[in-house]
Amino acid sequence: MALEKSHSLFTLLFCLVMLSFTSTTANSGEAEALLLWKASLLNQAPLNSWSLNKATNKSPCNWTGVACNYEGSVTEINLTNVGLQGKLDNFKFSYFPSLTNLDLSNNALFGTIPSTLGNLTNLATLYLHHNILSGPIPKEIGDLKNMVQLDMSSNILTDSIPSTLGDLNKLVLLYLFNNSLSGPIPKEIGNLKNMVELHLSGNLLTGPIPPSLGDLKNLTSLQLCQNHLLGSLPQEIQSLTNLVILDLAENHLSGYLPQQIFEGKFLKKFVIFNNQLTGPIPKSLRNCTSLIRVRLEGNQLTGNMSEDFGVYPNLTYIDLSYNRLFGELSPSWAKSKNLTSLKFSGNLITGKIPQEFGQLIQLRVLNLSLNCLVGEIPQELGCLASLFNMILYGNQLSGRIPLEIGKLSNLELLDLSANNLIGSIPEQLGDCSKLHSLNLSRNHLNGSIPFQIGNLAELQNTLDLSGNMLSGEISPQLGNLHMLEILNLSHNMLTGSIPSSLEVMLSLTSVDLSYNNLVGSLPNGNAFQKGTFVGNKGLCGKSQDLQPCNSSPIHSGEQKKIHKAIILIILPLLSALFLLLLVFAISSIYHRKTKIAKEERNEMNRYPFLIWNWDGCISYEDIINATEDFDEKHCIGEGGYGRVYKAALQTGQVVAVKKLHKLEDGEQIDQKSFINEVQALTEIRHRNIVKLYGFCSHRRCMFLVYEYMERGNLANILYNEEGARELNWVKRVNIIKTVAHSLSYMHHDCVPPIVHRDISSNNVLLDSEFEPHVSDFGTARLLKPDSCNWTELAGTFGYVAPELGYTMRVTEKCDVYSFGVLALEVIIGTHPGDIISSLPSSKSGQNLQLKDLFDPRLPHPEDQVGNEVILAVSVALACINANPQTRPTMEHISRKISAGTPHFLKPFHTVELSQLMEFQL
Ligand SMILES: *[C@@H]1O[C@H](CO)[C@@H](O)[C@H](O)[C@H]1NC(C)=O
Ligand SMILES: *[C@@H]1O[C@H](CO)[C@@H](O)[C@H](O)[C@H]1NC(C)=O
Ligand SMILES: *[C@@H]1O[C@H](CO)[C@@H](O)[C@H](O)[C@H]1NC(C)=O
Ligand SMILES: *[C@@H]1O[C@H](CO)[C@@H](O)[C@H](O)[C@H]1NC(C)=O
């Protein structure tokens, strides 16, 4: 202690003495070099303090992010996340002999890394991560002999990793992940004996893992995932006994796992999924109790489930799916009390599901599908209070479905299909109120479908009860499943008529009621005309499978049934019934006019249409008639790619028709956007994405037929006094949230991901309930993961991410930017153009208040919705970060805003925007 004190006193004295000598000779060359670089940047605002005026005494030492030693020479430049845009070419590295730390991370620097970087011979840390730097890593990097930490991750660097890196023998940390580096991992990296963390994931690296990596005895983290690495794991890797994280996933590694690979005492994350590894699970795995996360899925490993695994008290995530594991499940998995995901799908596991699994109270995902499990589903699984997904399909499970499953109040996905389950469907399943998808198909279930299934209002994806022995009538309550998209009750013994209450299931895209004993006529509604009904002797209606009905479709019998339903359960049905009557009223009006006939279909075939998702009800003629050959008076809008018409078809259905522009210099551009739009849309099924019914490519014109949205686009409503007032804060927050969820769906749930590329308030349509639907995929393009995405500039001015100005690399992050602009627009009530350009500077000084942002046409938001607005603004600000890599992903945003709002302590009217910008997403 005393020693330290006297030491620091001495340092202080020394500094003072030195300062008196050197303060006048402060290195003006450094200041000038910095100013030269500043001048080359696209935006100088973040470096406002960098200037040679008044008292600065030609020293840069007081400038933002700059630190000097007592000789007045620059030792540190820290400009992380200040919004820099520009190149490094004009950075005169040779002027900074004393520089030890250079941190330019989290900006939007582009261009190449100059080889003159090699002049910074004292550099100990170099952080260039999260920029847009391209080109090779200069080999001169090997001259930086004092380098300790080097992070160039998340750029777009190319070429091979220079072997000169092997000269940096003080290096402790090397992060080059998320670039486009190719070629082999240089064996010289094995020289870096001090290395602790080596992360080269997410590149295009080829060749084997060099055995020399086994020399890095201090390594705690080795991450090489998502490359094209080949060959087997070198035995030498077993000597890395300090490893905490080993991630080699998604390569082409083959051969056996080294037997002692799990002998390190510290190993927490072992991740090797999606390789071609074979051979037995190493015996050393059994005693490796430190494990937290284990992912072995998608290899060809063999092993005995009951012998090769031990007890892992810290385990939170294990995925062994799609290997060749056999033997029985051990009850000791239940000792991993913190387990949230247990996925053993696609192996050869036999025996029963241990009842002890019911003790895994943290478990969220249980997937034992596609194995050879027998016996009953333990009722103890009803104790898994946190469970989201229970996936047990494709086994030989028998007995009844335990009633206790009804206690799983968080369950979103239940798939027990393709087993040998018997008995009836427990009505308690109707209590699983968060279910999105329910699949009990291909079992031996009998009895009727409990009407409580109609309580599952969140059921959105699938209700599949096909391939059982279900009897009785279809409950009219199923009509309450307004969000359901796929209904399959085929291959059962259902009787009676199809309740007309099902007409109001407007989200349905697929209905299969084939092979039952149903009678009567089909309900109205598109999905029913496209559905499958073969094998029902008594059904009639407008479907290719059926005879047309001879009499009016409104049977008195059906009406009776409705009366019965009203009496049985008046309250829950009142709302559905109201809709129902409405549909009846409309349908009886238009039915008089309708004469759906075969001639019309033949007519349709005469035109050389390209037809996709054709629902058989709309023909070219229908569209031409309904729009009076695209008469002005039916035009409801105009977009970049064409005009939009409202077409009220003879069938009573209203659709939106987008007629694409014909350009002078040929149809090529149109054709391209046309096909793009269609391709993207046919792959999307989401209730907040505008549905495409069909399209036509004809010599005379090209058009797309869409779901019609009553209230038109968001811009029109927002820019209209009355509309803006009707769009209160609750509705606005809902719009932001819903668009976020839809984009997250497109980016993260579609394979390949779909980038919209033109999100703006013109492309968000609202239905009668002000529920938003994302439209206009004219510029969307399938993002093939391995094709490059350089393309001509697209999008709407004012929403286009800044990097598209100079890189043309379209990524999901471009949509994130546009989403941020859109979200601000919804809050402000007008396009936030000026605010966006003033943002980088507002961070360092001039303080914009949050309350200045709110649309003045509404009273300020308060309480809960106020908090949600603040969260939305924070998210939006993160989205419009100039650096694409610093923007959050839509998935992250979507999760963030549905996770409930944080509580903001300060009253709204005192919150400053800069505070929100620091808010950690
Ligand atoms: C640096 O700033 C401090 C206070 O902010 C000031 O007292 C000092 O004179 C400045 N030094 C130079 C060299 O400008
Ligand atoms: C695992 O640990 C047990 C008890 O410590 C020991 O008896 C056994 O030999 C170990 N097994 C392996 C494969 O190291
Ligand atoms: C389980 O998780 C809790 C909370 O995250 C943590 O405090 C506890 O240490 C964990 N237990 C084990 C055995 O890892
Ligand atoms: C409905 O289920 C049956 C049997 O499970 C299956 O064969 C059929 O393809 C399914 N229908 C649709 C439209 O997917």
Residue 170 corresponds to which tokens in the numbers above? 């003080």
Ligand 2 near 311 CB (within 6 A): no
Ligand 2 center–CA 451 separation, angstroms? 55
Among 267, 285, 286, 287, the mutation site with the greatest number of ligand 2 atoms within 8 A of its Cβ is 287
Q: b/e map of 369-398 (b: 16 or more CB within 10 Å)?
A: bbbebbeebbbbbbbbeebbbbbbbbbebb
Ligand 1 shell residues, CB under 6 Å: 55-57, 59, 61-62
Q: How far is the CA of 262 from the centre of ligand 4 (A)?
A: 45
Task: Give Dmax over CA atoms of the chain in angstroms.
Answer: 108
3 state SS of 522: coil
Nearest protein CA to atom 12 of ligand 3, as residue: 314
Q: Is residue 542's pLDDT more than 60?
A: yes
> Which ligand 2 atom lies nearest to the CA of residue 284?
13
In this prediction, residue 607 has a pLDDT band, given cuts at 50, 70 and 90, of very low
Does 286 contact ligand 2 (Cβ within 6 A)? yes
Ligand 2 near 287 CB (within 6 A)? yes
Residue 533 near residue 509 (C-beta atoms within 8 A) = no
Helix (H) or strand (E) holding 198: strand 197-199
As a whole number, mean pLDDT of residues 687-704 equals: 71
pLDDT tens track for 888-911: 888 878 877 776 655 554 556 666
Task: Tell me if 572 sits within 8 A of 475, measured CB to CB.
Answer: no
Q: Which pLDDT value is given to residue 671?
A: 55
Q: Which pLDDT tens digit goes with each residue over 302-342? A: 999 999 999 999 999 999 999 999 999 999 999 999 999 99
Instruction: Measure 57 CA to ligand 1 centroid, in angstroms.
Output: 9
* Nearest listed ligand to the Cα of residue 291: 3
Task: Specify the pLDDT at position 814.
Answer: 87
Q: Is 833 in the pocket of ligand 3 (CB under 6 A)?
A: no
Model pLDDT, residue 866: 81
Assess whether the C-beta atom of 313 lies below 6 angstroms from ligand 3.
Answer: yes
Ligand 4 centroid to residue 531 C-alpha, Å: 11
**Does the C-beta of 338 come closer than 6 Å to ligand 3?**
yes
pLDDT at 631: 87
Share of the chain above pLDDT 70, in %: 78
Which ligand neighbours the alpha carbon of 49 most closely? Answer: 1
Nearest residue by C-alpha to atom 1 in ligand 3: 338
DSSP code, position 226:
S
> Across residues 172-180, what is the average pLDDT?
93
480-505 pLDDT per residue, tens: 998 899 999 999 999 999 998 998 88
- Which pLDDT belongs to residue 590? 47
Ligand nearest to the CA of 313: 3
Question: Could you tell me if 200 and 176 are in contact, meaning their C-beta atoms sit under 8 angstroms apart?
Answer: yes
Atom of ligand 2 nearest to the CA of 263: 14
CA 283 to ligand 2: nearest atom: 13
401: phi > 0 → left, psi -120 to 50 → alpha, else beta; which?
Answer: beta
Terminus-to-terminus CA distance in the chain, angstroms? 41
Residues 6+ apart with CB under 8 A from 410: 385, 386, 387, 388, 434
CA–centroid distance, residue 554 to ligand 4 (Å): 29
The single residue of 247, 319, 758, 815 carrying the catalytic annotation is 758
Residue 7 — very low, low, confident or very high, per pLDDT cuts 50/70/90?
A: low
Query: Which of these ranges, 86-95, 226-235, 791-800, has the smallest mean pLDDT?
Result: 791-800
Lowest mean pLDDT, pick from 286-290, 346-350, 511-515, 613-617: 613-617
Answer whether 314 contacts ligand 3 (Cβ < 6 A). Answer: yes
- Give, using CA atoms, the residue closest to atom 3 of ligand 2: 287
- Residue 511 CA to ligand 4 center (angstroms) comes to 9
Q: Distance from the CA of 579 to the center of ligand 4, in angstroms?
A: 29
In this predicted structure, what is the pLDDT of residue 592?
A: 38
pLDDT band at 662 (very low <50, low <70, confident <90, very high): low
pLDDT at 725 over 70: yes
Residue 139 has pLDDT above 80, yes or no: yes
Tell me the pLDDT band of 420, cut-offs 50, 70 and 90: very high
CA-proximal residue: ligand 4, atom 1 (nearest): 488
Dig out the tokens for 879 from the structure: 């989205």
Distance CA 251, CA 253 (A): 6
CA of 57, nearest ligand number? 1
Single-letter amino acid code for the residue at 686: H
DSSP assignment string, 557-622:
HHHHHHHHHHHHSHHHHHHHHHHHHHHHHHHHHHHHH----HHHHHHHHHS----SS--SS--HHH
Q: Among 30-39, 66-75, 547-556, whose mean pLDDT is lowest? A: 547-556
Q: How far is the CA of 247 from the centre of ligand 2 (A)?
A: 25
Q: Work out the average pLDDT over 77-97.
A: 90
- Atom 9 in ligand 3: which residue has the minimum CA distance? 314
Question: Looking at ligand 1, which atom is closest to the CA of residue 61?
Answer: 13
What's the pLDDT score for residue 632?
Answer: 86
Q: Which atom of ligand 1 is least distant from the CA of 57?
A: 13
Strand extents, DSSP E, 411-565: 413-415, 420-422, 437-439, 462-464, 471-473, 486-488, 493-497, 510-512, 517-521, 538-540
Q: Is the pLDDT of residue 580 over 90?
A: no
Q: Choose which residue among 53, 62, 69, 70 to substitute to test ligand 1 binding: the one with the highest number of ligand atoms within 8 A of its C-beta.
A: 62
Higher confidence at residue 221 or residue 84? Answer: 221
pLDDT for the residue numbered 832:
84
| Sequence-distant (≥ 6) Cβ neighbours of residue 580 within 8 angstroms | 479, 500, 501, 503, 504, 562
Q: How far is ligand 4, taken at its centre, from the CA of residue 351, in Å?
A: 29
HSE, CB side, 13 Å, CA atoms: give it for residue 363. Answer: 26
Residue whose CA is closest, atom 1 of ligand 2?
287
**How many Å lie between the centroid of ligand 1 and the Cα of residue 52?**
13
Q: Which two tokens stand for residue 768?
A: 């009668």
Q: What is the pLDDT of residue 666?
A: 42
The listed range with the strongest mean pLDDT (35-49, 772-786, 886-900) is 35-49
Residue 199: pLDDT over 80:
yes
Question: How far does residue 89's CA lie from ligand 1's centre (Å)?
Answer: 30
How many angstroms is it from 868 CA to the middle of ligand 1? 43
Q: What is residue 679's predicted lDDT score, i.e. its pLDDT?
A: 63
Give the position, in ligand 1's atom list, of the atom nearest the Cα of 55: 14
Grade residue 24 by pLDDT with cuts at 50, 70 and 90: very low
Instruction: Provide the pLDDT for residue 367.
Output: 97
Select from 268, 291, 338 the residue to mutate for testing ligand 3; criterion: most ligand atoms less than 8 Å from CB.
338
Q: Which atom of ligand 3 lies nearest, measured to the CA of 313? A: 13
Query: Which ligand sits nearest to residue 513's alpha carbon?
Result: 4
pLDDT at 614 over 70: no
Q: Which ligand is nearest to the CA of 339?
A: 3
Comparing CA positions, the residue from 188, 308, 179, 290 lying closest to residue 245 is 290
Q: Which atom of ligand 2 is nearest to the CA of 310?
A: 1
Q: Residue 17 pLDDT > 50, yes or no?
A: no
* pLDDT at 26 (0 to 100): 45
pLDDT of 782 reads 36
pLDDT-derived band of residue 705, with 50, 70 and 90 as boundaries?
confident
Residue ranges around ligand 4 (CB below 6 Å):
441-442, 466-467, 488, 490-491, 510, 512, 532
Residue 803 has pLDDT above 90, yes or no: no
| pLDDT tens digits for range 356-384 | 999 999 999 999 999 999 999 999 999 99
The ligand minimizing its distance to the Cα of 260 is: 2
**Mean pLDDT across the chain, nearest whole number?**
82
CA 82 to CA 301: how far, in whole Å? 48
pLDDT at 908: 62
Confidence of residue 279 (pLDDT cuts 50, 70, 90): very high
Q: Is 415 a catalytic residue?
A: no
Ligand 2 centre and the CA of 284: distance in Å? 8
Pocket test for ligand 4, best of 466, 470, 515, 530 (most atoms within 8 A of CB): 466
Pocket probe mutation, ligand 4, options 445, 490, 510, 513, max atoms within 8 Å of Cβ: 490
pTM over 0.75: no
pLDDT over threshold 50, residue 674: yes
Q: Confidence class of residue 813 from pLDDT cuts 50, 70 and 90? A: confident
Q: How confident is the model at residue 245 (pLDDT cuts 50, 70, 90)?
A: very high
Model pLDDT, residue 610 = 37
**Residues of the chain above pLDDT 90, percent:** 49
* pLDDT (average), residues 405-429: 96
Q: Which residue has the higher pLDDT, 526 or 718?
A: 718
